[in-house]
Structure 1
Amino acid sequence: MRTLLSRLAAILVAACLLLTGQALAAPERAAAADPGYLMVHFTGEGAANQQMYLSHSTDGLHWNDLNGGGMVLRSTVGTKGVRDPALVRSPDGSKYWIIATDLCISCGQDWNAAINNGSRNLVVWESTDLVTWSDPWLLNVAGAIPDGRNAWAPEAIWNPATNDYVLYWATNVPLDGKTKHRIFYARTSNFRTITTPQLYIDRPGTQEIIDTQIIEVPSGVGNYRYVRASGDGQITLEGSNSVLGTWTKLGDLSGIGLTGSMVEGPMWMKFNGQNKWGLYLDQYATNRGYMPVTTTDPSNPASYQQLASTSYNMGGTKKRHGWILNMTAAEESRVLARWPNTAAQRLQSFNFQDRYVRHTDFDVRIDPDVSPVEDSRFRLRTGLAGTGTVSFESVNMPGYFLRHTNYDFQLVRNDGSSQFAADASFRQVAGLADSTWSSFQSYNYPDRYIRHYAYYLKLDPITTATGRSDATFRVTN
């Protein structure tokens, strides 16, 4: 018995030590990684590339394209192209805005027209969750500027001194018949109305300034609360203790071999959990997109360092002038769930195999030789109505889904309602005419299937061999 009790005691002590060790070690092992970073940007010239794209990073240096590298928002207003976006989060996190240049180069306007007679508007989207965005609207910011010719590269920062946002952008106000971009600002609380624009930054003589972005720096780092980086022939750094106060020139990045003739579009970020910042610069002169430089003090030009090209990766798409947001865990979860890298696919008709489902003027039909082919590409998302269903999101009209109304189909923007979710969700089943293909059963009318009739998509009950053929499709790349 004594031997047995001794063994039991030894086992109990060992178990306690094991549990104690696990309890002590658990916090370190269970500590979650910091949430990552979200970049909003455009990717180049042309109608498709001058839209809104998103990329994600876990460390701020290695980026993955979201949404399969496809656009996430498309402008349907103004020039129908957007560049130079800024992503603004309200102080309480209840609202977000994307503000962007209303500009589409090589799709209806050239640089000369954009500089001298461009849009005076910005394009704005609004969201309450970072994933469901409003329709875009135009905000006229340069119309009240005498002889203002355009509105480019908008940015915004919350100003606690005035309890609203300082919205700032570049406008060409010619000087002696030559181009002269200056930075103007206005105050706003909602990005729908603004105060009268005022001159914010002007450089001497004929020197232009187009791109500038401000970052707030925590107490104890450097001598200034705010630092701004501007593209004005150099990447000039300035400091101030007030957004609308006096700014002091601190220097530039020529000391590390970077000038404004090489890079533009400065884009700030703060590394999570570190006294370290990144400043991304768009290598427009060599057409290579963004590269990062790092610093431990944004206000000290001597502290900036270039990184070896092997120490960062910008992902599959070119990143052009944008904005980086440090996400919360909840924001990151929503963003990654909304824009997974789902492949773009097409729906081929079973009985007219040269024809594919496509949208045209928001109507939906099957056509041969679809042009542009992107009109026939969709992402088969997890159904808006829930698991076990699929929904068809347009590739070139993101946020728009195939939806039935009165048994007819259209491409419609998701309004977030339960009725929309039900109308835009389908069960993918074995093809009614060939089990190796697919048919799509309506979620809210399970006796009806997607089919084509006179080449247009309908939602019908299927009772004949012709109907079964019309309701059968191949999901293909």
Structure 2
Amino acid sequence: MRALLARLSAIFVAVGLLLTSQVLTAPQRAAAADPGYLMVHFTGEGATNQQMYLSHSTDGVHWDDLDGGGMVLRSTVGTKGVRDPALVRAPGGGKYWIIATDLCIGCGQSWSDAINNGSRNLVVWESTDLVTWSQPWLLNVAGAIPDGRNAWAPEAIWDPETNDYVLYWATNTPLNGATKHRIYYARTSDFRTVTTPRTYIERPGTQEIIDTQIIEVPSGVGNYRYVRASGDGQITLEGSNSILGTWTTLGNLSGIGLTGSQVEGPMWMKFNGSDKWALYLDQYATSGGYMPVLTTDPSDPAAYRKQAAGSYDMGGTKKRHGWILNLTAAEESRVLARWPDTAVSRLQSYNYQDRYVRHANFDVRIDPGVSPAEDARFKVRTGLAGTGTVSFESVNYPGYFLRHSGFDFQLVHNDGTAQFAADASFRQVAGLADSTWSSFQSYNHPDRYIRHYGFQLRLDPITTATGRADATFRVTS
């Protein structure tokens, strides 16, 4: 009888899970007119993978790499590497920040260094339109924590009770007889200054906690206004009605076979137009990148369902610990226009065909045998000054463009001004020395062209055969 009852129970459970999983099937691709989702993430180890990448989705489970899978922001401060980004939108939508861990494993820093004597700073970028970003700056958040040894996995959420942001992150500290990662928090309104850090989440004994992300849940769903998911040996769920109030433990995802030894980096996403969420988890133990787990109630551990591998597509690059933003139609239009899948090109000199335009210490010249090769690779974009022009964006320093100043060329970060756009825009015309090649006429000095002189790039009027040869290039892969 016990065996029969066990079999019947198993059948009922299986049927229940099947019905529930049908309800939580990943949605079909949304109509093209619907605004989609933007994910900011890193892609792995190494200097280039520990930078900022963007992906876009129309339905929240099928992702396309923006800019052909190339990096879109590069840290030039601190360790010169970044991981675990959060993308924060101001309540009014007029300002955005990316905040990230200042960490570059394998770039002269080991995991032991990062844990015990890592950067106490976060890396921050700011934007007013989601496409033109400031230069990065360092925000010291852990320096005021006694013997704080690092600052990892930052997140932020707007607190309507105090009209500022609760910024929270993990720091490894010795406290109460245990050295481990705890979650600390501080308040900020601009991500340039913060209040004195305070302990936010601490697990008992020697148990660490590193990754935490909070989502606000609409009224009528579950019993809590806020739910947070944390990596602390499990993927633990907690609920509260106040960001800095009392949090209640709700359970974890071990019931669906997901523990902290398998996955990390919980990342929330709410599907547009429905009370359905995806909790993305980074399969770090198998180097698998993100996978979605779907639910109709973030506060109920029993409501989560893993998805079959064929029901989602993470795109061409590995997605690691990041953040998903539900886009407005205007934001989506700007983002997709800024980062189309543009081919990577080189500019070959006509009269020195073993030489290519490259940047070196942000100066611009033509050289043979360019090393690293990325210094001679550019995205030929629609011109910053508008239709009919082109601009040259560096592949390994995204956001940096070839710009003339005093008729000399440098690789310069786009400051978003009209003057920069004009200085960095050119009309591509038939080559002055060979019409099958190209020459590039200045947008704001139309009597002048890009040319090399003494192998340095400059902007000159062209009046001689030598000048015409110097001002002729081939756009090639």
CA deviations on 1:183-240 (whole Å, 9 max, x unpaired) are 0001111111111100000111111100000000000000111000000001000011
Deviations 1:430-460 (A, max 9, x none): 1112211111111112221111111110111
Q: Report if aligned partners of 2:178, 2:205 keep a CA contact under 8 Å in 1.
A: no
What SS is found at the alignment partner of 2:324? strand
Change (3 A) 1:177 1:78: farther
2:434 match? 434
Tell whether 2:388 aligns with 1:382: no
> Partner amino acid for 1:151?
A
**Residues of 2 paired with 1:176 and 1:216: CA distance?**
32
Report the equivalent of 1:3. none
d(CA) in 2 for partners of 1:242 and 1:135?
Answer: 34
Aligned 8 A contact 2:282 2:321 in 1: yes
For 2:28, the equivalent position in structure 1 comes to: none
Match of 2:138 in 1: 138
- What residue identity is the alignment partner of 2:76? T
Residue number in structure 1 paired with 2:443? 443
Query: 1:139-158 to 2 correspondence within 5 Å?
Result: 139-158=139-158
Contact 2:434/2:472, CA 8 A, preserved across alignment: yes
Check if 1:350 corresponds to 2:350. Answer: yes
**Does structure 2 conserve the Cα–Cα contact (< 8 Å) formed by 1:389 and 1:426?**
yes
Distance across 2 between alignment mates of 1:343 and 1:192? 36
SS in 2 for 1:174: strand
| 1:55 matched to 2:23 | no
Give the Å deviation of 1:33: 3.5
Counterparts of 1:59-208 in structure 2, within 5 Å, are 59-174=59-174, 179-208=179-208
Show the 5 A alignment for 1:410-425: 410-425=410-425
CA distance in 2, matches of 1:179, 1:308: 39
Letter in 2 for 1:310: G
Match for residue 314 of structure 2? Answer: 314
Shift of 1:461: 1.5
User: Which 5+ residue runs of structure 2 have no aligned equivalent?
Assistant: 1-30
Q: Which secondary structure does the structure 2 equivalent of 1:173 belong to?
A: strand
- For 2:247 and 2:123, the matched residues in 1 are separated by 28
Shift of 1:467: 1.4
**Matching residue of 1:276:** 276
Aligned to 1:404: 404
Q: Distance in 2 between matches of 1:302 and 1:384?
A: 51
Unaligned runs of 5+ in 1: 1-30
Please give the secondary structure, in 1, of the residue aligned with 2:451: strand
Runs of 4 or more above 4 Å deviation: 175-179
Distance 2:159 2:37 in 1: 23
What residue in structure 2 maps to residue 324 of structure 1? 324
Q: What is the CA distance between 1:32 and its match in structure 2?
A: 7.3
| Kept in 1: contact 2:215–2:268 (CA 8 A) | yes
What residue number does 1:39 align with?
A: 39
Q: Are 1:289 and 2:289 matched, yes or no? A: yes
Aligned residue in 2 for 1:213:
213
8 A contact 2:32–2:58 mirrored in 1: no
Cα RMSD, aligned residues only: 1.2
CA shift, 1:118, in A, is: 0.3
2:264 maps to 1:264 = yes
Distance 2:297 2:132 in 1: 36
SS for the counterpart of 2:174 is coil
Deviation, 1:179, is 4.7
The CA deviation at 1:386 is 1.3
1:34, distance to aligned residue in structure 2 (A): 2.4
TM-score, normalised relative to structure 2: 0.92
Are 1:69 and 1:316, in contact at CA under 8 Å, matched by a contact in 2? yes
Q: Is the 8 A contact 1:175 1:206 kept in 2?
A: no
Structure 1 range deviating more: 277-286 or 72-81: 72-81
How far is 1:176 from its partner? 8.6
Distance in 2 between residues matched to 1:139 and 1:334, nearest whole Å? 28
**Is the partner of 2:310 in helix, strand or coil?**
helix
Separation in structure 1 between the aligned mates of residue 355 and residue 263 of structure 2, nearest angstrom:
46
- The one-letter code sitting in structure 1 at the alignment partner of 2:292 is P
TM-score (normalised: structure 1)? 0.92
Query: Using the alignment, how far apart are the partners of 1:277 and 1:299 within structure 2?
Result: 11
Distance in 1 between residues matched to 2:32 and 2:204, nearest whole Å: 50
The Cα shift of 1:174 comes to 3.2
TM-superposition CA deviations, 1:156-176 (whole Å, max 9, x none): 001111211100000001369
Change (3 A) 1:116 1:176: farther
- Identity over the aligned pairs, expressed in percent? 85
Count residues in correspondence: 447
